[in-house]
Chain A
């Protein structure tokens, strides 16, 4: 909510907010009309406190403090985000909270392995991939990760993907359990996928679990397997 406005001043009349903003809009042409319109909607509803899942906008990149100050969330190069926003806009969603702003987001893509790999037993067909999923520390354990993931799964499903997959550190039990709870299972163990091992258990890096959840296209469940933890592959097999 904009500073300086409260419902007492406006005598509980949301229309006055509209008038104020419209007057400001007329005075200040530099504010884009569609942004004004969104502000109008935000302001008219003067008690917005809840959360909403929305498409990520490039302007939201200025508003990722709560998620990206967290040490577990990587701050990528601007071009990386913009590439995802251009290519897979429907797979990039945020959780927005009125007061806090963006408190979580998911960033995904649709892809398949190069056709040259088709004969390989490790060939990965057309699928959705979760590149980043993050929720701000104070907003964890509220089901946002699940809702964001479901949004991406729906997007992948409507794009005729076989499954949605993601990579998680084998030692990250919190994340592993969370994805398992959302219906993901380990398809294979990618040995030494990560070059570092934060637990200090290994000098060669850490394994990743390639976890998958089938989409409706995979009626025969051809792209998931049981006990995938015991199915090791090398990093070169998943490139």
Chain B
């Protein structure tokens, strides 16, 4: 054939190819047919026609099956399933991407064909082993969906068909590991894929050449630290600790190999593995060698890099476990002493020394005096560091009172009379708190007040000193230091914490008196004037304002933390927990503030937006990370994905956002329903670590006593879901949408509200019991036959009784106070409630929500045209009256409380409360003097004024509520 003919054919073929590329199949077929009609019948045309026709047909068939499957009626759906299954088993298998995509999409919706989902790709890959795009698509579908088994098969196919790409081998190891490590995998799969991962990992290590100059290593050999870490992760997951040690001791992949190059990460891996393998002698000798002070100067200079607690811990742990070597303890102590001699400031070495003495003390080889001396030595060396308190508390963790007292007293003695440095004093006062107040139900008022007084005195003195120094400085203080919190801030925090002790009457419930809360808030506000960014103080203050029922101020302080991104998971719960039933309405706008700082719904929406975008971000990262080959981080990212996706906070925020919408408008929006109604096990990532804690190790952390009710957990979610569902059913009836009638009832049975470790407040338990009854009523109205009309009458009877009890609780007595007010309000003078607390608002808003549900039921029942099952008219009439009365009682209680606030919570009363506390007490006077001196009068007035305004605003919020 001539070259001109070639060019013509090429041009014509390109026209067809272009049409195919632009998915214009009709045009492609027309062009082919035109040429064939002209008598041209080349192999190319035949092949392309066959291929295109097959593709077209397959694609159309797959599409048709998908449409049929998605059809609402059962006949079409069944036809769709059978056609899809037929296509999946077609011979030759379907192998074009578009058809496979459609089939995959259809199969994804068919729950009982998960195996087939992978099988269609597997058959296609076998038919076209060199189709890289097809196998990659298969891999990504499996990987993105968390179908590790399917992705593992795809990875195996890729590494078999494209052996030059070495990464596919490591993808296969990684996916084998993921299948073996997945709780959802069957026991057989876990075992099988675990063995596979292990064999592949072994091969990857064995193939690494021993000679580091050998540049060409087999493709399956480990070449990077990340690949070696993957092998370590595989071995770790199977508890093969000794093998990890062997690998890290090996010539080719060990610590001194070209791959590791003495990277500290792997040294730590070896230390951990030695401990986990219980190779105590080997471990002791290894870390001892690392922590030996060498004669060589160069070696000495790198010693501080190895001064890492993991090394020291293995050293101590090995001594503890090798009890049969009597000299080991003394030898190790000498070794530590030598290190301290070389590096006297080493915190780790000093703690190791205390630990070794403690070990000797426990074995009877060292005395109590030895332990106290070791602690004193530690304190003398490290008293200028804020960590000293926590280190000492750790060592004294389970010692008896005498030892703790001796150490605390020694520390105090060594700093008293030398008030030139704040940090030693702070450490000594923290130890004093731990010794004299923490866990002591009988800590006297005098002890507490002396500590508060001293701390406030020193705070004032050091602040004045710092201000004097600053004023002498000629240059401007730089921005960073102005934004830093100062160590002396801790004095104020200790003082506030000392005040916040459980009241003697409430020791078991750890409830702190409202007077103490107001006083502590006053002290912390004072601190934050000088140190506005101290987050420990801000967090404590947020909780205090929440407990006081001053939601608007709590929100304002929360705004100052600028919480965003992952902090919606780790920090936001400090404000958001139960906020929907404490302050569900917007607070007055703050000048310069964002909406989220005063409008709770906006704040919650911001949090939920984070979770939604985090899901996409993590998905993308998982795909990108594979090409970077950071397998261990990817494994942890998969765990992070689960924790964020199934976060208990996410569900709580979704449920409470919808609750706030209901409280405002009587029903919630459709948004976030999937999250709110998710019944899979939730993951709890809440952290409380940013709170200062001075309690003894055997006591509950301090933060526990600043919680507004018990921490919500799975039980709370279940009852909140039930309430949410109740409103959704009522909304569906109202808008005449179909209601799923069978799903909800078993969930009610799961609610075990009598558990002792309950995560509900009393008000929540109370409301949930009634919501269970209302839910039965709502389902009955929607047409459910689960309950008879007699049962529904009983349910309504229970609701009626419950409303009567509520009326009694809210009934105003002669003194214009109800049982609820007496039980929940703050007293400014004994026996006279003056201001609301979080408990008042929580009870009231929880009640309002239930009343709204009832109101919705009345509304639906009264609609003449509605097709809902009718409820007993007389009973409904009585209930209607009761609901109106209870709602009016809520309003009259709130009005009464507002009146009391105006009368009794005058500015001067509140100021006196901060300064004098319980004025009848004989010990108060010296503390009063310090407070009078320390607290700025105008700032105190401002604080008390704002507190009053916040209470008023919160009460107005209740008064603005409508049924």
Residues of A within 8 A of B (CB): 6-8, 12, 14-15, 29-30, 32-35, 37-38, 40-41, 44-45, 47-55, 57-59, 61-66, 68-72, 75-79, 82-83, 85-87, 89-90, 97-101, 137-140, 142, 147, 150-151, 158, 169, 171-175, 198-199
Contacts and interface: CB of A to CB of B under 8 A. Distances in A.
A98 B395 CA distance: 13
B562 interface: yes
B394 A99 contact: yes
Interface stretch (B233-241, B597-605, B758-766, B880-888): B233-241
Contacts of B566: 61-62, 64, 68, 75, 78
B309 interface: yes
Given A58-B640, A63-B687, A86-B621, 17 more contacts: A6-B698, A14-B317, A14-B320, A32-B237, A33-B236, A34-B233, A38-B272, A47-B316, A49-B390, A52-B268, A52-B309, A65-B689, A85-B633, A86-B630, A86-B633, A87-B630, A99-B390
A144 B313 CA distance: 19
Contacts of A44: 275-276, 317
B567 A68 contact: yes
Contacts of A78: 565-566, 613-614, 617-618
B628 interface: yes
13 contacts: A49-B394, A51-B348, A58-B637, A58-B639, A59-B639, A70-B533, A72-B480, A77-B565, A82-B637, A86-B628, A86-B634, A90-B263, A173-B480
A7 B562 contact: no
Given A14-B320, A47-B355, A86 B624 contact: yes
Interface stretch (B326-334, B365-373, B481-489, B857-865): B481-489
Contacts of B309: 48-52, 98
Contacts of B398: 6-8
A62 to B, nearest CB: 5
Interface string B884-926: 0000000000000000000000000000000000000000000
Nearest to A90: B225
Contact of A45 (B317, B480, B561, B569): B317
B127 interface: no
Given A59-B636, A97-B387, A45 B316 contact: yes
B390 A62 contact: no
B698 A85 contact: no
B121 interface: no
Contacts of A174: 478, 480-481
B525 interface: no
B497 to A, nearest CB: 15
A98 B483 CA distance: 27
Contacts, number: 221
Given A7-B397, A34-B236, A150 B305 contact: yes
B562 A71 contact: yes
A97 B671 CA distance: 41
Report the interface size class on chain B. 35 or more
Contacts of B633: 57-58, 85-86, 89
Given A41-B275, A75-B567, A82-B637, A65 B313 contact: no
Interface string B103-135: 000000000000000000000000000000000
A140 B643 CA distance: 31
Contacts of A34: 181, 233, 236-237, 635
Interface string B299-339: 00000010011101110110011000000000000000000
Contacts of B386: 138-139
Given A29-B183, A41-B272, A151-B264, A66 B689 contact: yes
Nearest to A41: B272
Contacts of B310: 52
Nearest to B476: A199
A211 B637 CA distance: 33
Contact of B565 (A29, A33, A50, A75): A75
Kindly list the 5 A-B residue pairs having the minimum CB-CB distance in the complex, ordered from nearest: A50-B309, A82-B621, A69-B535, A86-B625, A29-B183
Contacts of A100: 390, 689
A43 to B, nearest CB: 11
Contacts of B487: 138
Contact of B640 (A54, A62, A86, A137): A62
A55 B263 CA distance: 11
A70 B535 contact: yes
A149 to B, nearest CB: 12
Contact of A62 (B236, B395, B562, B570): B570
